[in-house]
Amino acid sequence: MKGNPITPVVTVDSLRLAAVFFGALQYPSYARPDYFIQNQKASGWSKGVYLTTLNEIYHSYITRLQIHYHAQKKNTPGLRLEDVELDIEGTTVAKKVDKKILDELHLAVRSAWYIGRPEPIFSPYQILTFVEAALIFIRKEFKEQVRKDKSTHPRPRTKSYFTYLIAADAPFFDFPTFKATVRELILTSGNKDQVRRLLSQFHRVAAEIVTIWNNDIYFLERKISEEGNAQPPERAMIEFHADTLKHSWWSDEKHFQIMPHKFFLNQDFAYFAANIASLINIDLLHGKQIEFKPQSKNFTKDFLRGIKHLSVKNERQACIQNILEGHRWESPFRDFFWDWFEGQSYVTNAEPHRGNNHIDLKVEHDSCGKKIIEFKGWWNNTKLEVVLQLFNYLTDFEGDGYIFIINHSKKPIVDRYQKIVTDAGSGYVAKTWKVHSVRPSAYQYFTSKHQSNSQPKTIYHFVFNVHYPKKKSKST
């Protein structure tokens, strides 16, 4: 009896997709998703199977990376997962990869899903539904933050700021789209009374959100800021889906962060609601303008409080403990202030490479704009060009920059550092070096003006002296 010929089973391994996965490194980041799709089409495999396999390759390498990290950190205090590298085989593009490279490739795989996918078109009433879901979510979050109860697992957790990483496949928190939709409905709807009644409900919820912000959350956050609470912000990771209008709380933060997402703070939510309430007042209800209380920040004051907190903690902080153990690492200090400023309701991130260098830390807030901080160890020979290095990151939109010098030497360095800063090669403007005392403490910081192919900028200098514990004398 003759049977049908058996089609050979093509295994995932025979595709050698690991070589394809790492082969994307030979292309710029914007071209990698298309590179994956072109290889998928040539393979004969469906888009779902092919990209899912690439996704599994990413997770297998991340798992290996974590195993190596846990094995190495016992002998390397202060080691981070980002510092670990893996050897790879099967490709000539790269010999080693780290977490940053793996995450970039994973993002390209995820982006490849959207190639050839039609752009969704939403009706005005769908957009209203999305915004309605967003407002209800914000109101629920704000009420939970100010609720006072004695439950075993209470929310709110008002001892830290709330930040939100939100992935959405529809305009849930998009005020310009909502604004265009409202005006389209007002001009074209055949039943304006129904539109008016519907938008009146939006106005009521939005006004309630702004009231909660003005009367409660604004003061909670200001109180926490004044107390110098250094807890990292609590991150709520949420997805909104157009088809179900449901959101989910994520538990895998690292996985979430490489997805397309938007970053929100409590104040961003309050702004969103205030804009909606004001729009409906102006265009439809002609009522009283909604007053919104914006949060203002004093960046220099917040930076100094962070330095004081670090000084008080001293060897209890990993960045200082590293120095005491002989490890001359700058990045742990950057990481400390990354968490510190997030805890003060700033938006913070370390930017990717720009040219041959990279910005240590970028800190932003609506009330004070963008601030760039450069962290430099006194042991680092590049300290001689630290001002010019900072200037590489400052644009015409920034009038100041910040330098944090880590003094590990057990000796005063201010006089020597001043000579470096005031050298003519740094673009120093004569007679602009100033000493500022932080009363009632003995701490001092410094400012100077510099000019390099642009308008003069004020540079703030903070010298942090690592205090070594005194050894106890042997009793005779």
Q: What is the pLDDT of residues 383-395, one digit of tens each?
A: 888 898 888 888 7
pLDDT at residue 1 in the model: 40
Q: Is residue 41 a part of any domain in this protein?
A: yes
Q: Is residue 318 a part of any domain in this protein?
A: yes
Looking at the structure, tell me whether residues 92 and 171 fall in a common domain: no
Q: What is the percentage of the chain residues whose pLDDT exceeds 70? A: 82
Q: Are 348 and 338 in contact (CB under 8 A)?
A: yes
Looking at the structure, tell me whether residues 425 and 279 fall in a common domain: no
Q: Is residue 1 a part of any domain in this protein?
A: no
> What is the domain count for the chain?
3
- Domain termination site, one of 260, 285, 310: 285
Looking at the structure, tell me whether residues 452 and 339 fall in a common domain: yes
Q: Is residue 233 a part of any domain in this protein?
A: yes
pLDDT at residue 35 in the model: 92
pLDDT at residue 361 in the model: 87
* Residue 138: C-alpha distances to residues 203, 206, 346, 379, 395 (Å): 14, 9, 20, 48, 35
Tell me the pLDDT tens digit for each residue of 363-376.
888 778 889 999 99
Q: Is residue 322 a part of any domain in this protein?
A: yes
Looking at the structure, tell me whether residues 351 and 318 fall in a common domain: yes
Residue 409 has pLDDT above 60, yes or no: yes
Q: CA 84, CA 80: separation in Å to the nearest integer?
A: 7
Beta-sheet strands, E only, within 139-191: 162-168
Q: CA 443, CA 94: separation in Å to the nearest integer?
A: 48
- Domain termination site, one of 86, 112, 138: 112
Q: Is residue 180 a part of any domain in this protein?
A: yes
Looking at the structure, tell me whether residues 222 and 324 fall in a common domain: no
Looking at the structure, tell me whether residues 451 and 373 fall in a common domain: yes
Q: Is residue 272 a part of any domain in this protein?
A: yes
Confidence of residue 357 (pLDDT cuts 50, 70, 90): very low
Antiparallel, parallel or unpaired: β 361-365 and 347-349: antiparallel
Looking at the structure, tell me whether residues 281 and 138 fall in a common domain: yes
Looking at the structure, tell me whether residues 317 and 266 fall in a common domain: no
Residue 364: count of CB within 10 angstroms of its CB: 14
Find the radius of gyration of the CA atoms of the chain. Answer: 27
Q: Are 245 and 172 in contact (CB under 8 A)?
A: no
pLDDT at residue 312 in the model: 83
Looking at the structure, tell me whether residues 274 and 400 fall in a common domain: no
pLDDT at residue 153 in the model: 56
Tell me the β-bridge partners of 463.
Answer: 405
Confidence of residue 189 (pLDDT cuts 50, 70, 90): confident
Confidence of residue 316 (pLDDT cuts 50, 70, 90): confident
Looking at the structure, tell me whether residues 196 and 320 fall in a common domain: no
Looking at the structure, tell me whether residues 337 and 447 fall in a common domain: yes
Q: What is the percentage of the chain residues whose pLDDT exceeds 90? A: 23
What is the pTM (predicted TM-score) of this model?
Answer: 0.56
User: Regarding predicted confidence, which is higher, 89 or 241?
Assistant: 241
Q: Is residue 326 a part of any domain in this protein?
A: yes
Confidence of residue 134 (pLDDT cuts 50, 70, 90): very high
Domain that holds residue 27: 13-112
Looking at the structure, tell me whether residues 249 and 129 fall in a common domain: yes
**Type and span of the H or E element at 446:** strand 444-450
Residue 53 has pLDDT above 80, yes or no: yes
- Domain termination site, one of 285, 312, 334: 285
Phi, psi of 404 (to 5 degrees): -115, 110
